[in-house]
């Protein structure tokens, strides 16, 4: 008995549909791309409950004549490719002739369409790939697709869909990308009856960016316009000061098509090299135009990946375009500044937190520079000639000027850790503004990374806290612009963030409002929220305890004294004392807090033994 047989038509249709239609966002992408190819100047996308039970796309494009409507739902039927020679230079977004057939195979589809020359339009119904009706209907010029009950006949596919809010965000992302790809088209997006996007369609990219993201994001952009070797690059990149904690706001469009391009991404980030801190990434909305024959878009059914005939011209055009824009931004202005008298930096030692909410202004509003102060949370100052720990009090201590030596030689009371042997300790000083040098007994020198040590102490302090972390109410609430995925992730985790000391609320699509932050976190609150949002968006499936632990790590790392920050001898003494008392070995990232250099090893290096 033969084992190979031909699949039934409807089974083959369902299998083929799985390559094109993965989720509601796939449907939205195919239908919106059709509206662009139809010459529409206004497009409206509407969804309910994530787009699974209801998704509608309306445009004012050219429409279809009745004879073409049934043909449009046949597999490999298209008006965009006539022969194999057309595949060498595809200039439309759609070309496979598979989308409508795949969508109709797994849903109930209603189509309304009319051309400018027809008096009456056409209403066409198709469900599960089977035609159910075709009749005259009154409608405006253009086309309207209504897709209902997606995957109603493929329950296995339905099981893999995510929550409505997640699926809705994916649809929203599709509309956002198309709006940025085609600023000449006015896009509207309605979600459960609420309009969340409306672009003007005035062919001005910056206005489209403003509608998709926010005023704050738009104000942090630099224009790019460059041409090299037949490749045109135009659009906007973020200023270095407006960088992001991840790449979620990097948008590349090749000949009007949104794609993920490693070539363009690497070229842009190479141009930014030296302008960004480690772990920060540029945002962009960049259009790259090149000959249609120089790029192959027929790589994957999703059309999200492309191949270049030659990547080098693309890389060089993007690199030099971005580099030129950054160099223009870096051109300094000539200013006459009055010399300011130097003042000793004040170091604030806060009192221990008690759990109640404190009304404080973040330090970033008080100090003109980031490194003007160093805060050792919950670590009181200890005079150099004292051993006993004084009661926690609010004090200030002036840091000596940078040109004075900070190395001191002071006795520190020996501390024990378990059954470890007690050794007298003597503070030698600090190297490179980062490492504390301590002599232990007569045979060891201990080198302590002060940031790693302080970070670990703060992390343990946060973990030991019962209930929500103490908050400080911000005098001026901070707005933070996020990607759709990050925005949703933050709103889904407001209770978790409250446990970490953040009071965050919705402030409109893509924006959240920060009213309170942990007392320990005194600066760069916006950056902290951006980084936390990126983590939560990428780790939705992690358990809550892991997420909370990561938040504690992040807060402790940001609140800890930084390498290069100036510290008084008293602060260094107290940090080493606490380090011994708490037996801290590693920072939360797993790096060692200290290393020991033995006397005999040192003498061996100098040839003494």
Confidence check: pLDDT of 340 > 70: no
Q: Residue range 10-38: average pLDDT?
A: 81
Burial status of residue 149 (CB atoms within 10 A of its CB: 0-12, 13-18, 19 or more) = middle
Flag whether 370 is in a domain. Answer: no
User: Whole-angstrom Cα distance, residue 290 to residue 316?
Assistant: 13
Task: Please report the pLDDT score of residue 122 as a whole number.
Answer: 95
Position 232 pLDDT exceeds 80 = yes
Check residue 77 and give its pLDDT.
Answer: 62
pLDDT, tens digit (0-9, with 9 covering 90-100), for 381-438 = 434 443 333 333 333 333 334 344 344 344 443 334 444 456 777 888 888 888 888 8
Question: Domain check: are 554 and 569 in the same one?
Answer: no
Residue bearing the bigger pLDDT, 44 or 460: 44
Same domain assignment for residues 37 and 155: yes
**Nearby residues of 194 by Cβ (< 8 Å), 6 or more positions away:** none
Q: What's the mean pLDDT in 486-500?
A: 90
Residue 459 has a pLDDT of 85
Q: Is there a domain that residue 358 lies in?
A: no
Task: Tell whether the model's pLDDT for residue 579 goes beyond 50.
Answer: yes
Which one of 167, 183, 205 terminates a domain? 205
Q: What average pLDDT is seen over the chain? A: 79
Measured distance CA(495)–CA(150) in Å, rounded: 33
- The lowest-confidence range among 237-251, 451-465, 477-491, 524-538 is 451-465
- The model's confidence at residue 82, banded by pLDDT at 50, 70 and 90, is low
**What's the whole-model pTM score?**
0.68
Q: Are 425 and 475 in a shared domain?
A: no
Average pLDDT over residues 9-28: 74
Q: 430-475 pLDDT, tens per residue?
A: 888 888 888 878 888 888 888 888 888 888 888 887 777 888 888 8
CATH of the domain at 232: 3.30.230.10
| Phi, psi dihedral angles at 518 (to 5 degrees) | -60, 145
From 86, 125, 91, 93, select the one nearest 108 (Cα to Cα).
125
Please calculate the CA angle 475-481-482 and round it to the nearest 5 degrees: 130
Shared domain for 318 and 194, answered yes or no, is no
Instruction: Determine phi and psi for 562, rounding to 5 degrees.
Output: -95, 155
Are 143 and 63 in contact by the 8 Å Cβ rule? The answer is yes
CA distances from 13 to 7, 181, 483, 577 (A): 10, 31, 35, 71
- Calpha distance 547→302 (Å, rounded): 32
Asked whether the predicted pLDDT for residue 488 surpasses 60, the reply is yes
Tell me the pLDDT band of 188, cut-offs 50, 70 and 90. very high
Instruction: Quote the pLDDT of residue 305.
Output: 72
The verdict on residue 94 lying in a domain is yes
Last residue of a domain, one of 523, 541, 559: 559
- Could you tell me which residue, 227 or 456, shows the higher pLDDT? 227
Domain tally, the chain: 4
Task: Find out whether 37 and 93 touch, Cβ atoms under 8 Å.
Answer: yes
Rg (CA), the chain: 31
- Using the Cα atoms of residue 40, residue 305, residue 483 and residue 282 in order, give the sign of their dihedral: negative
| % of the chain residues with pLDDT over 70 | 75
Please tell me the predicted confidence (pLDDT) of residue 591: 74
Q: Are residues 585 and 443 in the same domain?
A: yes
Indicate the residue among 186, 205, 224 that finishes a domain. Answer: 205
Residue 595 within a domain: yes
Tens-place pLDDT, residues 143-155: 999 999 999 998 8
HEC secondary structure over 533-552: HHHHHHCCCCCHHHHHHHHH
User: What distance lies between CA 605 and its chain's CA centroid?
Assistant: 48
- What is the spatial distance between Cα 222 and Cα 122, in angstroms, rounded to a whole number? 47
Q: What is the pLDDT of residue 426?
A: 81
Residues 392 and 420 placed together within one structural domain of the fold: yes
pLDDT of the residue at 567? 77
3-state DSSP assignment of residue 186: strand
pLDDT above 50 for 164: yes
With a cut of 80, say whether residue 269 has pLDDT above it. Answer: yes
Alpha-helical regions (H) of 40-163: 68-72, 99-105, 155-159
Residue 445 falls within a domain, yes or no?
A: yes
**The pLDDT of residue 303:** 61
Q: Is the pLDDT of residue 42 over 90?
A: yes
Please report the pLDDT score of residue 566 as a whole number. 78
Q: What is the CATH number of the domain that holds 132?
A: 3.30.565.10
Tens digits of per-residue pLDDT, 45-66?
A: 999 999 999 999 999 999 999 9
Instruction: Note down the domain range covering 578.
Output: 377-458+563-605
Query: Cβ(169)–Cβ(488) under 8 Å?
Result: yes
In this structure, which long-range contacts are made by residues 537-543, counting pairs with CB atoms below 8 Å and at least 24 apart in sequence? 537/248, 537/483, 537/485, 537/486, 537/488, 537/489, 538/246, 540/166, 540/489
Q: What is the CATH number of the domain that holds 586?
A: 3.30.1540.20
**Is it the case that residue 283 has pLDDT exceeding 80?**
yes
Strands 231-238 and 221-228: antiparallel
pLDDT attached to residue 91: 53
**500 and 570: one domain?**
no
Instruction: Kindly write down the DSSP assignment for every residue of 159-185, as one continuous string.
Output: HT---HHHHHHHHHHHHHHHHHH-TTS
Shared domain for 307 and 166, answered yes or no, is: no
The verdict on 451 and 592 lying in the same domain is yes
Does residue 333 surpass a pLDDT of 70? no
47 and 187 together in one domain: yes
> For 281, which DSSP code?
B
Regarding predicted confidence, which is higher, 528 or 307? Answer: 528
On the 0-12 / 13-18 / 19+ scale of CB atoms within 10 A, 291 is exposed
The answer to whether residues 51 and 183 belong to one domain is yes
Please tell me whether residues 552 and 568 are part of one structural domain: no
- What is the rounded CA–CA span in Å between residue 25 and residue 172? 8
């Amino acid at each position: 008995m033969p084992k190979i047989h031909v699949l039934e038509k409807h089974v083959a249709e369902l299998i083929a549909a799985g390559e094109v239609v993965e989720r509601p966002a796939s449907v939205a992408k195919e239908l919106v791309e059709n509206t662009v190819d139809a010459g529409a100047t206004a497009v409206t996308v509407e969804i309910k409950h994530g787009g699974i039970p209801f998704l509608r796309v309306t445009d004012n494009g050219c429409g279809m004549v009745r004879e073409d409507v049934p043909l449009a739902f046949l597999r490999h039927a298209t008006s965009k490719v006539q022969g194999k020679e057309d595949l060498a230079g595809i200039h439309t977004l759609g070309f496979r002739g598979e989308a409508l057939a795949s969508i109709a195979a797994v849903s109930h589809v209603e189509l309304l369409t009319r051309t400018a020359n027809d008096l009456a339009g056409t209403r066409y119904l198709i469900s599960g790939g089977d035609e159910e009706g075709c009749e005259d209907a009154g409608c405006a010029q253009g086309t309207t697709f209504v897709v209902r009950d997606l995957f109603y006949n493929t329950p296995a596919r339905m099981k893999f869909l995510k929550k409505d809010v997640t699926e809705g965000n994916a649809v929203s992302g599709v509309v956002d990308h198309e709006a940025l790809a085609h600023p000449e088209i006015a896009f509207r997006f309605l979600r459960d009856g609420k309009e969340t996007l409306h672009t003007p369609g005035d062919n001005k990219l910056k206005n489209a960016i403003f509608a998709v993201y926010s005023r704050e994001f738009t104000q942090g952009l630099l224009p790019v316009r460059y041409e090299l070797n037949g490749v045109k690059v135009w659009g906007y990149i973020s200023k270095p000061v407006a960088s992001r904690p991840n790449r979620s706001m990097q948008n590349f469009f090749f000949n009007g098509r949104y794609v993920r391009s490693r070539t363009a991404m690497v070229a842009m980030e190479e141009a930014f090299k030296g302008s960004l801190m480690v772990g920060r990434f540029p945002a962009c909305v960049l259009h790259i135009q090149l000959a249609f024959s120089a790029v192959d878009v027929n790589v994957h059914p999703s059309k999200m990946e492309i191949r270049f005939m030659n990547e080098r011209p693309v890389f060089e055009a993007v690199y030099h375009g971005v580099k030129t824009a950054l160099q223009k931004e870096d051109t300094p202005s000539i200013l006459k500044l009055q010399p300011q008298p130097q003042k000793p930096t004040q170091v604030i030692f806060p009192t221990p937190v008690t759990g109640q909410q404190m009304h404080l202004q973040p330090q970033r509003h008080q100090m003109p520079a980031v490194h003007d102060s160093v805060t050792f949370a919950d670590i009181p100052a200890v005079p150099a000639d004292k051993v006993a720990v004084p009661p926690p009090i609010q004090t200030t201590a002036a840091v000596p000027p940078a040109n004075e030596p900070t190395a001191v030689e002071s006795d520190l009371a020996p501390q024990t850790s378990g059954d470890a042997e007690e050794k007298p300790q003597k503070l030698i000083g600090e190297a490179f503004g980062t490492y504390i040098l301590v002599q232990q007994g007569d045979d060891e020198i201990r080198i302590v990374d002060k940031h790693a040590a302080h970070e670990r102490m703060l992390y343990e302090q946060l973990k030991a806290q019962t209930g929500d972390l103490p908050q400080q109410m911000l005098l001026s609430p901070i707005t933070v612009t996020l990607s759709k995925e990050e925005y949703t992730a933050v709103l889904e985790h407001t209770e978790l963030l409250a446990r970490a000391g953040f009071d965050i609320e919705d402030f409109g699509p893509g924006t959240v409002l920060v009213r309170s932050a942990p007392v320990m976190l005194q600066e760069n609150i916006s950056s902290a929220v951006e980084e936390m949002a990126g983590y939560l968006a990428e780790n939705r499936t992690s358990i809550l305890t892991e997420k909370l632990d990561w938040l504690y790590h992040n807060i402790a790392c940001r609140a800890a004294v930084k390498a290069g920050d100036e510290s008084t001898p008293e602060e260094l003494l107290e940090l080493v004392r606490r380090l011994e008392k708490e037996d801290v070995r590693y920072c939360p990232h797993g790096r060692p807090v200290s290393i020991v250099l033995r006397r005999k090893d040192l003498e061996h290096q100098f040839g003494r033994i």
